[in-house]
Structure 1
Amino acid sequence: MTTFVLAAVAGLLTGAGLIIAIGPQNVFVLRQGVARAHVVPVVVVCAVSDVVLIIAGVAGLGALVAAHPSVVTIAKIFGGGYVIVLGVLAARRCLRSSEAIVANAGEAATVSRWAAIGMTLALTWLNPHVYLDTVLTMGAIANSHGNAKWAFAIGACLASLLWFATLGGGATRLSRFFASPRSWRMLDVVVAVVMLAMGVMLLVSV
């Protein structure tokens, strides 16, 4: 029993260490939370995707991906290009007038639920780091725990669920601080820098 508990704790800590990082997915969840736009479905998509990938990694998909590096290469090309486009759009928002920024902040909440879900899926499944961290790394570490590997997986899945729920809910509470155009401009600067940096890194690493 102690072995399974320790494996679950290890999964929780490892999952938190890999998931809690500034990246396109987390930045998008943050922006949706601040805009109070479809936060619940976005958080659910992120968490469920992570759970699916973690389980796949523990079940052995990590070895399959490692044996076919072209899959990761394709993901880097498409993911890098997509993230760069999002970064450019965020940079353009930074250069708008204060009136336009206020209008854009209001429009963010009018984006359809399916559009928000589609962007979340793209940022999650086109990001090669998801496969490297969640499938390969988590899968390898989980399998090192032998019979307790599924306890490790449960802990890792719990870390993902807690993180995205906290990020989405916390960002929603921050919305009152984004009543001014300056706050939105600062947020979009962060979004632009993260997206562009990540996109360039992905394309350069091909």
Structure 2
Amino acid sequence: MPTPLQLLPGLLPAALCEAWLEATTNSPASTPLTALPLDAAAVLQAVADSAAAGPLVGALGPAPWCNLSQSWLRSGRPAHHWHQDGALRHDFLAHAGQPAPAGAALSMQTLWIALTPCGGDAPSLQWVGTALPGLLSPPELTPEAVAARFGQGAFQHAVLQAGDALLFDGLCLHRTHLTPTMTQARRSLELRFFRAEALPERVAGDAGLRLPAAAQVKA
């Protein structure tokens, strides 16, 4: 089966990431884009001008919608456990003991941008390199259950420089990659995109902006 995640090396200029990092120095480690001292429209323009625009449009259609309320500045501490972004606001309790119904997973893409080097001495991202057909239930997301189901050979993690990015869909099973030797700080920006022409009801009330067209480069 195809991998559920794409590595996009050098997606954004390191200088731009440094500017975003400096602007958010005093922001808490888990802050939505709506509360960050960043121009969200400028952030999305940078994405539109990058190599991520093609895959995003290919997966979600023209001018995909970025959920600003669910796009986050992260530090990797505390670590996030195994999860799928497409489970956002799914009512697992209502379906306890049963498989998630068809359509429970949101059709979406997450663009995970490293603002600092990570994966060596700072937390990164770990994922299962196997595409999944649907949402896993909470009992299936424990470390023991995931290890038993997939085996260590299925686990992958990223070593990234500032400006490198990961792009993955709502079913990609992932968590923070954090080991005892990772003592350095990490900052990343997570942008979550949806099909604008068929916005899921679970996110329709959130703040958002559509991905703009790429800027015209003058000769």
The reply to whether TM is greater than 0.5 is: no
Question: TM-score if structure 2 supplies the norm length?
Answer: 0.25
Flag the structure with higher helix content.
1
Q: Rg: which structure is higher? A: 1
User: Which structure is higher in RCO with an 8 Å CA cutoff and minimum separation 6?
Assistant: 1
The alignment's TM-score, normalised by the length of structure 1, stands at 0.27
Task: Give the structure with the higher percent strand.
Answer: 2
